[in-house]
């Protein structure tokens, strides 16, 4: 007999194994194997092959974008070059190409009538409701004055006031402008650095190529007209109202393959498409002014209201590479999931199959009855030399097989 203090040790160093019930039934057997096969197929085809669960990922892409626009256009018989129509001029990932300009020249500080018909007035009384408004061209004084269009409320500010309802033709040459995009990226986890065009590309090709998704996938020069066409826009409408176009550069890299195959994919969207049909704030415009000094020392300016296509270059990326840890975790998950087949089979066996009661009786033994029998066996028919079965209270209440000879 094991001494009392060691009782828990022998109790602890035991191994419990589940007892299996083998069911020889074709239908359940087939269901079991089919379910297992489906689970294996799911893991092999989807989890491992498609989703590449054996890889670690890096989505924290570091990216830098440089842009350069080229082309000449005409506005009011003036030739416009890059310095005139690109804003801001630094060549960042977000830039505007101005397509339409409303120019108000020679504005001086002073008092003058407003222009819009909403500022119509018959007496000073009519103008008091506009006091403090931010919608006009300047600070409303509250008096009603004569102007060339009739009586209008007076304002203080840069005069004469801008008339922005003029019909101006957009600069149609924009469709032939080119955008050169230089994008370098890095996946910090794998220390992989890539550029959006291969360094092997020769100079003459880069000079003359234009991107298209089938033949010139590596060309970093985009024709504005093509970009608009890819997004389903045409210049005659977007040129009038302005708008926002997204150029997405997506880097999906499987670094188990050659690094050379880590290439960018371009896609194009109109980012402000949700507001396109809106009644207010359609398109995109902004104002800027150029300031001059007259001979007598007073400032005057030329105000520009610019309608522009704004380009946002958005870079996203995801790189993956084989790693033993996710591989192991997912293999274990796959093996565990194969066991899920038995849950379905149990459900069918216990509920829907003929002879379900019989199977139930075999699967769930009545523990109280068995305990009772064993107790009799131990106390009255005590046969120390043969292996006997006894209930042990300290091992989760399961019936255990005691192979020790002594009792
Ligand atoms: C754009 O270029 C093409 C070919 O060079 C030319 O035919 C077309 O007139 C140009 N478009 C505009 C608006 O200038």
**400 contacts 21 by C-beta, under 8 angstroms:** no
- Collect the ranges in the chain with pLDDT lower than 70: 1-4, 365-407
Among 176, 224, 236, residue to substitute to test ligand 1 (most atoms within 8 Å of Cβ) = 176
CA of 173 to the centre of ligand 1 (A): 7
N residues, the chain = 407
**Residue 192 annotated as lining a ligand binding site:** no
Q: What pLDDT does residue 342 have?
A: 83
Q: What pLDDT does residue 401 have?
A: 43
Q: What pLDDT does residue 3 have?
A: 60
CA of 313 to the centre of ligand 1 (A): 25
**290 contacts 160 by C-beta, under 8 angstroms:** no
Q: Which of these, 313, 318, 316, 317, lies nearest to 66 by C-alpha position?
A: 313
Angle, in degrees to the nearest 10, between helices 340-351 and 26-41 = 150
Give the angle subtended at the CA of 50 by the CAs of 44 and 53, to the nearest 5°: 70
Q: What pLDDT does residue 75 have?
A: 87
**307 contacts 285 by C-beta, under 8 angstroms:** yes
DSSP one-letter string for 69-99: EE--EEETTEEE-HHHHEESTT--SEEEEEE
The answer for residues whose C-beta is within 8 angstroms of residue 70's C-beta and 6 or more apart is 82, 177, 178, 180
Residue nearest atom 12 in ligand 1 by C-alpha distance: 173
**175 contacts 225 by C-beta, under 8 angstroms:** yes
CA of 172 to the centre of ligand 1 (A): 9
Residues with CB under 6 A from ligand 1: 172-173, 175-176
Q: Name the DSSP letter for residue 405.
A: S
The answer for residues whose C-beta is within 8 angstroms of residue 58's C-beta and 6 or more apart is 187, 188, 189, 190, 318, 319, 320
């Amino acid at each position: 007999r094991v001494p009392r203090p060691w009782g828990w040790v022998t109790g602890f160093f035991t191994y419990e194994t589940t007892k299996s019930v083998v069911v020889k039934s074709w239908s359940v057997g087939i269901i079991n194997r089919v379910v297992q096969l489906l689970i294996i197929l799911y893991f092999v085809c989807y989890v491992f092959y498609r989703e590449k669960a054996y890889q670690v990922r890096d989505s924290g892409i570091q990216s830098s974008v440089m842009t350069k626009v080229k082309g000449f256009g005409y506005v009011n018989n003036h030739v416009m070059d890059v310095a005139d129509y690109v804003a801001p001029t630094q060549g960042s990932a977000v830039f505007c190409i101005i397509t339409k300009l409303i120019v108000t020249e020679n504005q001086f500080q002073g008092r003058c009538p407003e222009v819009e018909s909403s500022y119509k007035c018959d007496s000073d009384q009519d103008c008091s409701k506009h006091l403090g408004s931010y919608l006009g061209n300047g600070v409303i004084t509250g008096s009603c004055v004569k102007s060339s269009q009739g009586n209008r409320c007076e304002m203080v500010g840069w005069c004469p006031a801008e008339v922005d309802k003029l019909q101006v033709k957009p600069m149609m040459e924009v469709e032939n402008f080119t955008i050169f995009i230089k994008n370098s990226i890095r996946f910090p986890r794998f220390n992989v650095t890539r550029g959006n065009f291969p360094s092997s590309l020769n100079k003459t090709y880069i000079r003359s190529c234009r991107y298209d998704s089938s033949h010139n996938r590596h060309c970093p020069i985009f024709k504005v007209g093509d970009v608009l066409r890819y997004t389903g826009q045409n210049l005659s409408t977007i040129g009038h109202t302005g708008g926002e176009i997204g150029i997405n550069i997506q880097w999906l890299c499987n670094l188990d393959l050659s690094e050379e195959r880590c290439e960018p994919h371009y896609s194009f969207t109109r980012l402000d498409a949700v507001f396109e049909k809106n009644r207010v704030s359609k398109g995109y415009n902004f104002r800027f002014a150029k300031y001059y000094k007259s001979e007598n020392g007073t400032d005057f300016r030329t105000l520009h209201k610019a309608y522009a296509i704004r380009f946002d270059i958005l870079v996203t990326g995801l790189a993956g590479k084989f790693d033993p840890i996710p591989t192991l975790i997912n293999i274990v998950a796959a093996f565990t999931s194969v066991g899920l087949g038995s849950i379905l089979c149990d459900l069918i066996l216990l509920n829907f199959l003929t002879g379900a009661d019989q199977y139930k009786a075999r699967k769930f033994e009545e523990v109280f009855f068995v305990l009772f029998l064993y107790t009799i066996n131990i106390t009255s028919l005590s046969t120390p030399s043969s292996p006997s079965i006894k209930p042990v209270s300290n091992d989760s209440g399961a019936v255990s097989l005691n192979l020790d000879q002594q009792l």
